[in-house]
Structure 1
Amino acid sequence: MANEKGVRGSVLFAGYRSLGLYSNHVPHVVRYHKKHKEFYLVTAVGKSFLTYNVNKLGQVAVSNALPEEITCLAADRMLVFASYGNLLKAFARNKEIIHTYKGHESDIHLVLPFGDHVISVDTNNTVIVWDILSAEEYLQLNFDKGNFDISAVMHPSTYINKILLGSQQGSLQLWNIKSNKLLFSFPGWQAGVTVLQQAPAVDVVAIGLANGKIVVHNIKFDETLMTFQQDWGPITAISFRTDGHPIMAAGSPIGHIGLWDLEEKKLMSQMREAHSTAIAGLTFVHGEPLLITNAADNAIRVWIFDGPGGQGRLLRFRLGHSAPPTFVRYHGQDGKHILSAGQDGAIHSFSTIHDRYSKSLGHGSINKAKAKKVGLRCTYLRLPPVVCFASETARQNDWDGIIACHQRKSYCTTWNFVRSTMGAHKLKPPNLKTKGTYATAVDITSCGNFVVIGLSAGNVDVYNIQSGIHRGSYGEDTAHDGPIRGVAVDGLNQMTVTAGDDKLIKFWKFKSKQLMHTVDIEVTPTCILLCRESGMLSVALEDFSIKVLDIETYKLVRRFPGHNGKINDMTYSPDGRWLLTASMDCTVKVWDFPSGCLIDCFLLDTPVVSLTMSPTGDYLATAHVDDLSLYLWSNKSLFSMVSLRPLPSNYEPVVVMLPGAAEEEEEEIVEVEEVSEDMMEYESPEQLGERLVTLSLLPESRWKNLLNLDVIKRRNKPKEPPKLPKSAPFFIPTLPGLVPRFVTEVEDESTQSKVVNLGVLERKSVFCVQLEESLKHENYDVPLKTIKEMGPSSIEVEIRSLAPDGGGSVELMQSFLKMIGRMLETKLDFELAQAYLALFLKIHLKFISSEPTLLEEFSTLSTSLDETWLHMQKLFNQSLCVLTYMKSALL
């Protein structure tokens, strides 16, 4: 059974998408869509690439994942080309792979679209020209790596069938790929070529060198027009403005950008610290004063040049963690924001709705004012990474609502979510005697006024987060004999729970700081988590098991066997029924509190260091070891029926791919298997059984106004009388249709009409025929289905035509009453039976009183109707009695 369960993956969660991953070291690509008349930006993120519109930097597409990480990106008007290993793939519609180019024996590191062809260069110095549509090799060139190691490739503008190759030795070669001839060789400038970029002027190429020099060269006359020197290392990217300003931008390995004036032939300005790592891609948008940059620091930035001095200012950006996140929590109760702290020392807020709502709260600083003056690179002023934090939205508009605990720091910092900045207070115990003490655990009250901080020396202190004033400590000297492993405050600020290295769980009065109870758990805890709604305290232990205590009774209520590795984090479902745990054994487990069983378990490639579940229950967010991204997992139980079965003790899960890490075809197959193996399909009937009186699913307009049709017709009667035809027809008029039917006019009793009633001559309707057949077989499902599909006017016509005067008969009227009786017996469509019977009596009451057969049938029907109403009256009285009792008890 374990193997069968393992094949299906996770029962409760399906990979949805990743958050917070925007860019890596691969240079970006900018495309122009003629139909949309818009520029698009393509960036690589691991095994897939993302597409953004430049106007708003909104993500518009995510490509299917490749088996390995993308090493090179390129694009033309229609396709996006991505390489990994020795393979090159062509993507259509920014998502689907339509062509694969196989032929290289080593890894591809350069790709250049070239009209109907695409050129790829591998590390063995093999150049292959491919036909895009046929995916066949058009030409292959081999170069000696010792003499000409290709490091850059470019197509000079207006040079038909020609490409320019740059080498690490510094020389350049111009080739005609149609005739397979070397046209010209450039000796170079005694430094390796890193970048080749076409200038706006024809025949002019900018050449970036490994020694930081930029050469603007005319390749037609082999003449150097100008040279520039940057002191920041090799040139990583070059781009030219095309909106009328002769400006060239060049990137550097330390994140600076130099802006060079081509008319004055001098450095115009510098954009220092544009990124914290080497500039990977740098592109001026054609015809606009916009510069797009990306780097390996997981950031995309759009700069606009609209101010004096030619200095660019930041217009739009997408920024994530530059080092793996270590602690994540949902912020607020709407489930739209996830707070994340990473090894880079920054706190970010990622939106699950749209990237434009994501923001960075910045890095913690020892001295905020001084750090603001120095700039981004003041690493000596930065605080260490945040180990854990707690947030609350109750008073976040008034003062700080986030408390953060930093690595090996004795004080904790406050942060403001609304202003997206570090707060005003650093909370440190006033009388700290032990040196080397640091904060280990924090919590914030649900009212947003107080924070509780646990220290490595065993102290637990309370602070007012608005003023930063110390409000007391728990215990005479220390709360525990050893480092604090966790602190928690209940939802009403009545109780504080602390866990320490001394294997004790202590319960304190929040206000008076008195010790109420102590529980010895026999094993050292690693972390605790309190569900404020249910009062369940989960304690993760060093033996990898989990104990659950009730904070009201201080009793152990559940014991879960746990994992095979250190438990990194825990989270609750919004209703408090599930406990989700993540461990270093790379598994995520879901424990069910009511049954005390493990109901789901799935294995991942890398361990989850932190996880959090949305307050709305729709997503689970996870952060992984050595991974910059956060991953969202959708909760299947919200949109499909999930069969939750206890998993056996020998359950062995299989690896579940991260969102975006597997091809879609594989995911679809897995989902189909899950449905077929695990889910039991159940179709709800239209109405419930015979024990209950059940209403139909028809709208009220079908039955509510049946008794008032005459009033409605009188109200809707035209003001002008109908005009008489000039000449009477020779034949009786008929209605169009496959079955010939005479036109009938129902004579209104209140008006005098000269139209002859032709009901006797009319052909019987389908409903009447079905009633006659049902009288023989005593099965009234067919006529009931027919009348339920009719509108109010059609129902009135059909009921009128049941009488002998309308073309019917006594047997038809008797059959109709039997159908109503059958509806009352089954207790289905109760309101329809009442409406149909009321209209029948209103029209045919006089005729029924003169027919013994109908009177006998009606007496039987009346008895059944009385029994049904008595049963309903009894239910109503019981419900009213219970409701009255509950109201009186509450008052």
Structure 2
Amino acid sequence: MPLASKIFTGYRALGYVSNHVPLAIRYQEKTKEHYVITSVGKSFHTYNCSKLGITDISDRHEDDITCLVANDRQVFTASKNVIRAFHRGKQVIRTYEGHQRNVHLLLPFADHLISVDEDSCVKIWHIKTAELYLEIGFSNSTFQVTSLVHPVTYLNKILFGSKQGTMQLWNLKSNKLIYSFTGWKSKITVLQQAPAVDVIGIGLEDGRIIVHNIRYDETIVKFSQNWGAVTTISFRSDGHPIMITGSAPGHIVLWDLEQKRIKCQVRDAHRSSVSGMYCLLSEPLMVTSSGDNTLKVWIFDMPDGGPRLLRQREGHSAPPVKIQHYGENGQNILSAGQDSTLRSFSIVHDKYNKSLGSALFHKKRLKQPNLTKEDIKMPPITAFAAEPRRESDWDNILACHRGRRMATTWSYLRSTMGKYKFDHFKRSRDRENHHDTTATAVEVTSCGNFGLIGYSSGHVDMYNLESGLYRGSYGTPTAHNCAIRGVVVDAVNQVTVTGGADGTLRFWKFKAKQMLHELKLDCFISKMILHRESAMLAVSLDDLSVVVIDMETKIVIRVFSGHHHQITDMTFSPDARWLITSSMDSLIRTWDLPSGKLIDCFEVDTPVSSLSMSPTGEFIATSHVDDIGIYLWSNKTLYEHVSLQALPDDFIPMLIENPSTCSKTHELDDEYSTEELDSLSSPYKSPEQISNELITLSLLPSSRWQNLLNLDIIRLRNKPKMPPKKLKAAPFFLPTIPGLKLKFASQKDAIENNKVASRISFGLKQNLTEFGKGLQNAETDDDFDNVLDNLKEMGPSSIDLELRGLAPSEGGSSQVLLQFVKMISHMLDKKQDFQLTQAYLGLFLQLHFNEISLNTELCEQLRLLYMKNSAIWEELQRQFSQTNCLIDYLRAAKF
């Protein structure tokens, strides 16, 4: 089956933490630690609550996860109408199928699992056998199930909440309705068991919170929040009578159940609805998650009893707009998102991720009352330039924002927004005429001292990043008479190139700001990038073509055409041999600059909004439209042989699925038996278990097989230099035994010697040895194993003698030779004793080359054996290359 891309393959996804699916909590008795589980689309992550370190990443689902729960042993997920049970938070061990609609509620209940679909069909499953125990049907018109809970100490009973605002208590063992609650005429969004027996916390869609005693059907206390529906409820269990609720806008409220009033509140705890909340048992800690891609741990140590943010993991809450590798080692990726934040993601480990903060107009105004971060937040970053050379001295990142004239500076080392904000027209006399002018392009020089800003009015300004002082403008008064689409500076600060929307490229002296040359392109310019080391400038045009210009000669050297939709981004490979482009038709193309041909093209799920290739050439990173993640694609040319021939004109790109947060190890449709489950939980695997996974070597000493092909040379080397001396003859009447030592023979020995001599003189043909007979009669795998065990016990000379005896001239036959080839094929199938297989096969071919060439059947068997052997060698070569690549990377990496 042909691969979709011969150069790139999916590696992993970055930036995913959580989504709108409520979190699940597990407590592991062995480690005495809580683990939180969050959904990230088609997979889920498991974190430890002590450090929020990721411990497990699940296999990839076919569809997005709609809900997940966990007990002390397993994790259960629902994806559409299929429910899956995961072992150790990774591998699927069981599936539960039977729902006709999508499942949206799950609840582990002792040895059973309760599931509810969108038609309010309730099914109870045996967890171990995956058999259906009971089914209860509700009508959505009268009782649409929206939540459920198992009241503590209520044996075999489940409480259901409905969209109509009523509740029902059912006994699952007898399949009977025990009691119906009148309700509160508002949709019940959440049911939560309180620390007290018989008490349930009920959250309603209209913002009311009811603490209800279901034993007597009495309301204990009522609360109301003005922020819309109650999304989640949790109770502290460390001795404080506190109930905590989450809301749709992301606020958290603490309610004092004894005094029946608000204890405190946390505004903007999350940027979107609080989807999950859990107070750890007997600890002053609380874990919350939200659809804003954040997971937070709070500790209750504030003077007013409120929570304080202890630790968090977060990613972009809105899709990234621009990404770029930072640094020479390629281990960090800068990403600017539509949430107006600038973040750095590490491809080595998630613990190195960090946020550079949100873009704010006036950060000091946050101290004013009734003023939130959203009120002073700047528009998202549309383009930025970074230079790590002077990061420890001053701000080293320059960014422009959507629809704003102002350009901002950022410090990567301090992980904060810089102190300078550049606006050319702020103090200009004609600032009234530039209300609609925006900053469209930015550039930071390779020395890190200067930043250049291009505007939609055609101005290009230069600023000193250390002092923030204005250092002049290009052109009189503007560099172009149209909007600036790109600004670049060469590696030695000698030439500046500006690109206008009208298709004009102008080359300027960097310091004197005098125009050196003007190049008119055939169409309007949309984007431009520069590879400083090679002085290659790539410019994308509105006619969907890309031109490559040599900055030294200032001429067009390559024109690439073939895009059918708008080009979104471009990037060069580190050696400037490839130009990689993306477009709105979801295609990623790789162009070879020396040949000027398209050498690779593949399709992704959604259009690429930005891409960047690492300075080491190991990965390309892509961000996509309406996707908050960043995807890494590994470069296969670094660890295996890849043919880089040009693609034909009728080439049809194939679709590659975006990589998940981990590699796919098991198919989700596979189910494991009890024995297989035990093997999954055990870390040890015997050689027989891994025979189909790895290639193993024999434990025999190398002297048994290493010199099989050199026995003739060894015999020649060990041949004595002087012939043996002839012994003095004994009297003729005393018979002797032939040999180097003088031995007298008895009359019986003399008779035997005469028989042997006479037998040799008659030239009788030799018979097969025990090894040859066993090989000739071998039919099953066990027979071949017995013959092989016999061969392993022999020394090199004995093996050579046995293999010579297989020839027809030595008492063997063509059938025995064919049997030996089948034995070698059997050894390759087992993937064991690999070095013995190669040694035996080499000696066999050396001894019987002439007989093999004359036998058609034997040649055909050897051809099949060659294909099998070549496949194993290719797999070994791939693993060796991949391992060497990984070792070289770890040697060069700086942790």
Q: Indicate the SS of the match to 2:637.
A: helix
C-alpha distance in 2, partners of 1:129/1:194? 22
C-alpha distance in 1, partners of 2:70/2:105? 12
- Within the candidate set 216, 229, 235, 1:240 is matched to 235
Contact 1:770 1:783 in 2 (8 A): no
Contact 2:12 2:663 in 1 (8 A): no
Displacement after TM superposition at 1:318 (Å): 1.3
**Structure 1 residues 504 and 255, CA gap change in structure 2 (3 angstroms):** same
Per-residue CA deviation, residues 249-270 of structure 1 (Å, 9 max, x unaligned), is 1111111111122233221111
Contact 2:59 2:665 in 1 (8 A): no
- Within the candidate set 230, 253, 261, 1:258 is matched to 253
Displacement after TM superposition at 1:146 (Å): 2.4
Q: Which amino acid aligns with 1:780?
A: I
C-alpha distance in 2, partners of 1:125/1:423? 54
Partner of 1:390: 385
C-alpha distance in 1, partners of 2:404/2:412? 22
- Within the candidate set 180, 205, 208, 2:203 is matched to 208
Partner of 2:536: 536
What aligned pairs does 1:104-503 form with structure 2 within 5 A after superposition? 104-371=99-366, 373=368, 377-430=372-425, 431=428, 433=430, 434-435=433-434, 436-503=436-503
1:572 aligned onto 2:572: yes
Contact 2:203 2:209 in 1 (8 A): yes
C-alpha distance in 1, partners of 2:130/2:355? 44
Q: Which amino acid aligns with 2:239?
A: G
Contact 1:318 1:355 in 2 (8 A): no
Per-residue CA deviation, residues 486-512 of structure 1 (Å, 9 max, x unaligned), is 110111111111111221111111111
Contact 1:47 1:661 in 2 (8 A): no
Partner of 1:548: 548
Partner of 1:64: 59
Displacement after TM superposition at 1:380 (Å): 3.6
C-alpha distance in 2, partners of 1:253/1:376? 20
- Within the candidate set 685, 709, 713, 1:780 is matched to 713
Q: Indicate the SS of the match to 2:18.
A: coil
C-alpha distance in 2, partners of 1:770/1:192? 82
Q: How many residues align?
A: 687
Displacement after TM superposition at 1:579 (Å): 1.1
Q: Indicate the SS of the match to 2:161.
A: strand
Per-residue CA deviation, residues 371-409 of structure 1 (Å, 9 max, x unaligned), is 454688443422111110001111111111110011111
Structure 1: unaligned runs, 5 residues or longer: 669-736, 739-764, 785-797, 808-891
C-alpha distance in 2, partners of 1:318/1:770? 61
Q: Which amino acid aligns with 1:498?
A: T
Displacement after TM superposition at 1:652 (Å): 1.1
Per-residue CA deviation, residues 525-568 of structure 1 (Å, 9 max, x unaligned), is 11111001111111111111111111111122212124111111
**Structure 1 residues 607 and 178, CA gap change in structure 2 (3 angstroms):** same
Partner of 2:88: 93
Displacement after TM superposition at 1:578 (Å): 1.3
Contact 1:347 1:362 in 2 (8 A): yes
Per-residue CA deviation, residues 281-312 of structure 1 (Å, 9 max, x unaligned), is 11112222111111111111111112322121
**Structure 1 residues 805 and 467, CA gap change in structure 2 (3 angstroms):** farther
Displacement after TM superposition at 1:246 (Å): 2.1
Displacement after TM superposition at 1:663 (Å): 9.1
Contact 1:770 1:782 in 2 (8 A): no
Q: Which amino acid aligns with 1:367?
A: H
Displacement after TM superposition at 1:803 (Å): 8.0
Contact 1:50 1:62 in 2 (8 A): yes
Displacement after TM superposition at 1:805 (Å): 14
Contact 2:13 2:631 in 1 (8 A): yes
Contact 1:546 1:562 in 2 (8 A): no
Partner of 1:603: 603
Partner of 1:818: none
C-alpha distance in 1, partners of 2:523/2:488? 19
Displacement after TM superposition at 1:667 (Å): 10
C-alpha distance in 2, partners of 1:320/1:540? 31
C-alpha distance in 1, partners of 2:328/2:667? 31
Q: Which amino acid aligns with 1:249?
A: I
What aligned pairs does 1:798-817 form with structure 2 within 5 A after superposition? none
C-alpha distance in 1, partners of 2:285/2:595? 59
Per-residue CA deviation, residues 113-162 of structure 1 (Å, 9 max, x unaligned), is 11111101112121111111222211011123222221110011122211
Contact 1:405 1:411 in 2 (8 A): yes
Partner of 1:510: 510
C-alpha distance in 1, partners of 2:440/2:562? 23
Per-residue CA deviation, residues 591-632 of structure 1 (Å, 9 max, x unaligned), is 122222222111112110100111122221100011111111
C-alpha distance in 2, partners of 1:642/1:363? 43
Q: Indicate the SS of the match to 1:57.
A: coil
Per-residue CA deviation, residues 388-446 of structure 1 (Å, 9 max, x unaligned), is 00011111111111100111111211111122221111111153744221111111011
C-alpha distance in 1, partners of 2:429/2:17? 43
C-alpha distance in 1, partners of 2:722/2:369? 101
1:619 aligned onto 2:619: yes
Structure 2: unaligned runs, 5 residues or longer: 669-699, 726-895
1:635 aligned onto 2:568: no
Partner of 1:592: 592
How does the TM-score come out when normalised to structure 2? 0.73
Q: Indicate the SS of the match to 1:780.
A: helix
C-alpha distance in 2, partners of 1:376/1:645? 60
C-alpha distance in 2, partners of 1:665/1:589? 28
Q: Which amino acid aligns with 2:459?
A: N
Displacement after TM superposition at 1:45 (Å): 1.4
Per-residue CA deviation, residues 616-659 of structure 1 (Å, 9 max, x unaligned), is 22221100011111111111122222222211222111111000
C-alpha distance in 1, partners of 2:495/2:403? 28
Q: Percent identity?
A: 50
Contact 2:59 2:666 in 1 (8 A): no
Contact 1:604 1:655 in 2 (8 A): yes
C-alpha distance in 1, partners of 2:595/2:316? 39
Partner of 1:824: none
C-alpha distance in 1, partners of 2:716/2:53? 57
Displacement after TM superposition at 1:62 (Å): 2.0
Contact 2:16 2:628 in 1 (8 A): yes
C-alpha distance in 1, partners of 2:724/2:194? 92
Q: Indicate the SS of the match to 2:365.
A: helix
Displacement after TM superposition at 1:203 (Å): 2.0
Displacement after TM superposition at 1:664 (Å): 3.4
Q: Indicate the SS of the match to 1:309.
A: coil
Partner of 1:751: none
C-alpha distance in 1, partners of 2:6/2:50? 40
Partner of 1:520: 520
**Structure 1 residues 80 and 153, CA gap change in structure 2 (3 angstroms):** same
Deviates more, 1:46-55 or 1:388-397: 46-55
C-alpha distance in 1, partners of 2:575/2:518? 28
C-alpha distance in 2, partners of 1:129/1:569? 51
Per-residue CA deviation, residues 91-114 of structure 1 (Å, 9 max, x unaligned), is 222122222222222221111111
Q: Which amino acid aligns with 1:522?
A: D
**Structure 1 residues 442 and 802, CA gap change in structure 2 (3 angstroms):** farther
